[in-house]
Structure 1
């Protein structure tokens, strides 16, 4: 059985530790949040990727299949609908949408087929089955498929209810903010 860290501290020391932890939490809750955003840190509160603290890392090369990225979607009809339905959080991208954390599974020139699941150049993508209705019972309209256009990427999350390119199609690679790096996360 583990002994709690504070078990060996005096009551005075325990109070001091509690005050320091409370002050740290307060600073994070106020100015710390702004500093974290400016410093390239983001908090993910959606289940598409592990919950918690993430860091945006500069991408100094062309985006590639397999990259886990932060990306800002353009304000298309599908993105507006996703925002109206509550699929997308408020954030710093155009239209006040938070950057999405998604994996690039296809790049320009690759052929995407959408059926019961996704295939890229004839290769099935694991865990890519589509959802016919969202949690509120509203119908989900899948992207019809096709060739990923030049300068675009097709993004995805293995979380079944993720709102990703299966529904809104390829996104401009110019919207990539950077690579997504886990800092302190929790996957339930």
Structure 2
């Protein structure tokens, strides 16, 4: 004969075989399946929306910057010669890319060294005089704010830097420096960048910080 008992505030019936029917565990499993299905559906929708946004961003010639070296947000590439104060999208040299890959400074990308390009500000162009010291970078006698040289990266690894002293920018060179963070991987550590490594000038469209 079947018996009734109370478990977790619910009345359940025990069959003669001792098997639980209508148990809380079974109800919980059914509820989980329903909730998991809804969560999976939301994830699919979110991924679809993200995919559409990415296609639109690329179609409009926009680039997303998430690095602290520049204001985070959307940038668009424009034609024109890089001038002092402009933002540019540029690759590091294949030699520098070796260190970038080994230490994870840059993710994989289409540059010649197999890394993603940088978004940096041009602080010096051909003919400018750059002076490098531990405390700051000076361009044509003007000290750049927030341009001190970091001795190590965020993991405590030593950062090779450009030689201290005076540098005259060559005809086919640019100096790219971020004044937002001292350990931004830029010309303070890479030295002057060849203009042949510059993809384009970039203009901010929408930024958040």
Q: TM-score if structure 2 supplies the norm length?
A: 0.69
In the alignment, which residue of structure 2 is the partner of 1:146? 167
After the TM superposition, which segments of 4 or more aligned residues of structure 1 sit over 4 Å from their partners?
Answer: 21-25
1:86 corresponds to which of 100, 104, 108: 104
Which structure has the bigger radius of gyration? 2
1:157 and 2:175 aligned: no
State the SS of the aligned residue for 2:149: coil
In the alignment, which residue of structure 2 is the partner of 1:53? 74
- Superposition deviation, residue 129 in structure 1: 0.5
1:125 and 2:144 aligned: yes
Q: Which runs of 5+ in 2 are unaligned?
A: 1-41
Distance in 1, matches of 2:97 and 2:113, equals: 10
Distance in 1, matches of 2:46 and 2:203, equals: 23
In the alignment, which residue of structure 2 is the partner of 1:41? 62
In the alignment, which residue of structure 2 is the partner of 1:6? none
**What's the Cα RMSD here?**
2.4
- Mean Cα deviation higher: 158-167 or 34-43: 34-43
- Superposition deviation, residue 25 in structure 1: 4.7
Cα deviation code 1:98-136 (max 9, x no counterpart): 221111111122222211211123322111101011111
Describe the shift of the 1:139–1:179 C-alpha distance in structure 2 as closer, same or farther (beyond 3 A): same
- Superposition deviation, residue 22 in structure 1: 8.3
1:175 and 2:197 aligned: yes
Q: TM-score if structure 1 supplies the norm length?
A: 0.76
1:135 and 2:118 aligned: no
- Superposition deviation, residue 38 in structure 1: 5.2
Which protein has greater RCO, CA pairs closer than 8 Å, 6+ apart? 1
1:186 and 2:208 aligned: yes
Describe the shift of the 1:71–1:28 C-alpha distance in structure 2 as closer, same or farther (beyond 3 A): farther
Q: Which runs of 5+ in 1 are unaligned?
A: 1-20
